[in-house]
Structure 1
Amino acid sequence: MDKIEKTDAEWRAELDEAAYRVTRQHGTERAFSHPGFPKEAGTFHCVCCGAPLFDQEDKFESGCGWPSFTAPVSPEAVEESEDRSHFMLRTEVHCPRCAAHLGHVFPDGPRDRGGLRYCINGVALTFDPKD
């Protein structure tokens, strides 16, 4: 997969304010502020570059206020890095194609599905229903 690099001005022109703040400036949308996620089969993609990230089959209701997934569509679909912001140590999740900040992964997901919770900002995702 080819890497996508754009200037800050190009990202600002392509993304709405919330998506830009989250994906390019490592922001976080307010919990429970992105309602109405689709329930049908399909794939969630990066809002910045369209790379496939998560499958609907791996989405679950965690009660945390952000879309949660047990795994990405493939091990290569997301990259992780250490995040020491806000006086915490967390694992950041970002898109390997365009470096968009997506959210964080935590070890408190469903044990029967691997034990991970990918807590992803809704504004960082688009949805493509399965045909």
Structure 2
Amino acid sequence: MKTGILVLAIGTIGYVGFSFFPARFHVDGRAAFLPQAIGMTIGALFFSLFYLKQRPFSRASVKNMLGGFIFAVAVLLYLISINLNGVSVAASLTQMNVILATLGGIYILGERKTRWELWNVYIGLFIVLIGGVMIGLTSTEIVANLL
């Protein structure tokens, strides 16, 4: 359990730094992307070698790199969004991925849901969507003009 807490603490520090430093020093997301990508790659290699004690370029790792490249695109867009919207709005809007992940699980991966469960899922996703829209509006002039 101690090892898990240590890994969680390191990950949390990394995530906070990942969001905080570009915003704090007004660094453009595109400029911050490469140094952060290099740092994440080195961190993943160390994690794989010393914590998991397996080869970093096994067949399973290579297959999972596709997901990593998709994540890289998401990270780049997130870093750009930090400059445009601020950390709080950008971080909140990234959590909208739960909508795509849930619908992908149901329709692409074929998760089975009863009619009642599906109804509740749709209501929950609608609430998440409305929350995301409201958060997005907080950074626009529309809300400023209303106040």
Fold shared, TM-score > 0.5 on shorter chain: no
With normalisation by structure 1, the TM-score equals 0.22
With normalisation by structure 2, the TM-score equals 0.20
Structure with more strand by fraction: 1
Larger Rg: 2
Structure with more helix by fraction: 2
